[in-house]
Amino acid sequence: MSAKYEAIMTSLLASAGVGTDGKHPWDMQIHDQRTYGRLLCEGVLGLGESYMDGWWDCDRLDECIVKLIRGNLREKVQTDWRLVVHVVKAKLFNLQAGRRAFEVGEKHYNIGNRLYAAMLGSGLNYSCGYWKDACTLEAAQEAKLDLICRKIGLEAGMNVLDLGCGYGGFMKFAAENYGVELTGVSVSTEQIALGTEMCKGLPVTFELADYHDVSGQYDRVVSVGMVEHVGYKNYRAFFETMHRCLKDDGIALLHGIGSNNSVTIGNPWHHKYIFPNNMLPSIAQLGRAMDYLFVMEDWHNFGPDYDRTLMAWDHNFEEAWPGLKDDYDERFYRMWKFYLLSCAAAFRSRGQQLWQIVMTKRGRPQPNCRLT
């Protein structure tokens, strides 16, 4: 049976331009023959887990996965039964509400601030940078933060709500450069602890809460890199929160990863190892959720910039690993490499997008803000 699996999988990989034990940097170097059966029977989950287990390697993992995505390998292999179970759970339960909303904070964002500080750089911005005129990660992240401030027309004295504020990178930048007061909401205790330290002395407040529980009225409402954790059953509630907390003459901005297709579950490997219960929204899903709530003023896609951001994070992680490896094992290292490089591949292959959406309440005059 193993020989049959090898023949089938080798042919499928070749159709995507990926060889096995070949000389191209994107070819898979197979160390365990069971890899073929695992890929054929378990799909995306098997691809990531077999890499974590050291069953195969690749000099350019990112380019390998780009070819697999462009070759539609996911649609060509058999679906793992564990994915079917995940689909059923997603249909029956609201996987991103209540206590489950805090699961991603506990299992992803709380795994170690030293890791994130080393990977993300000085500003601790865990979202896509804006590389239009930037040459370094720090410059790209600062350009992204300033782009957001300009798009929402920040002015001194305004109060701003940041849903999913992370370490407070946006809040720190906006407070220091635009003279505004900010409230940030996060589900991660570790992010809040470090963010509070980073923003000491600034008019910035952190709250450990789910977005459902936020109240108050703000001149501006932003969400940077959080919509990926909201879930398709909750998009309407998420936009209702933004609408409820935004003053009638205010401006809201959503910055997040989007999918070309409308789905109801996320990547099964990411769900299991990186972002529990995550999924990417489509244009259609977001459009339906903001219906009768907002006027869409601008929808900006700079997805290729996330490829460059992720490759910079991977470089930082690789450089920092000798000082981190006492806190993590080799399987974690391979898991994290697969996470960063597979995500870079998803953006490079145009399978995922990065959107910034500017919104106002109905009836408000169109704002005169810089959108580039």
pLDDT digits (tens, 9 = 90+) for 186-227: 989 989 999 999 999 999 999 999 898 999 999 999 999 999
Mean pLDDT calculated for residue range 259-284: 91
- Report d(CA 320, CA 369) in Å as an integer: 39
Are 147 and 130 a contacting pair, CB within 8 Å? yes
Residue 368 pLDDT: 86
DSSP letter (8 states) at residue 65? H
Best CA proximity match to 187, nearest among 171, 161, 165, 205 = 165
* Residues with catalytic roles: 343
- pTM for this one? 0.91
Bridge partner list, 251: 220, 360
CA distance from start to end of the chain: 56
DSSP letter (8 states) at residue 106? I
Percent over 70 (pLDDT), the chain: 90
DSSP letter (8 states) at residue 154? -
Please enumerate in sequence order all residues whose Cβ is within 8 A of that of 358, keeping only pairs 6 or more positions apart, or say none. 151, 152, 251, 252, 253, 296, 297, 298, 299, 300, 367, 369, 371
* Domain segments of the chain as ranges: 2-79, 97-361
Is residue 369 scored above 60 in pLDDT?
Answer: yes
Exposed / middle / buried, residue 125 (Cβ in 10 Å: 0-12, 13-18, 19+): buried
Is residue 150 scored above 90 in pLDDT?
Answer: yes
Residue with tokens 């579950």: 265
If DSSP codes are grouped into helix, strand and coil, which group holds residue 254?
strand
Q: Per this entry, what is the length of the chain?
A: 372
Are 209 and 101 a contacting pair, CB within 8 Å? no
Is residue 95 scored above 70 in pLDDT?
Answer: no
Cα–chain-centroid distance for residue 56? 26
- Report d(CA 367, CA 212) in Å as an integer: 27
Is residue 92 scored above 80 in pLDDT?
Answer: no
Are 277 and 100 a contacting pair, CB within 8 Å? yes
Neighbours of 314 (CB within 10 A): 20
Rg (the chain; Cα; Å) = 21
pLDDT tens for each residue of 251-271: 999 999 999 999 988 889 998
User: 97-361, which class in CATH?
Assistant: alpha beta
Are 41 and 80 a contacting pair, CB within 8 Å? yes
pLDDT tens for each residue of 99-132: 444 454 456 677 778 999 999 999 999 999 999 9
Are 221 and 163 a contacting pair, CB within 8 Å? yes
Position 268, amino acid = P
Is residue 81 scored above 70 in pLDDT?
Answer: no
- Report d(CA 275, CA 268) in Å as an integer: 10
Position 153, amino acid = G
Q: Where are the strands (E) in the chain, listed by range?
A: 29-30, 56-57, 159-163, 181-186, 204-208, 218-224, 246-259, 294-301, 352-361
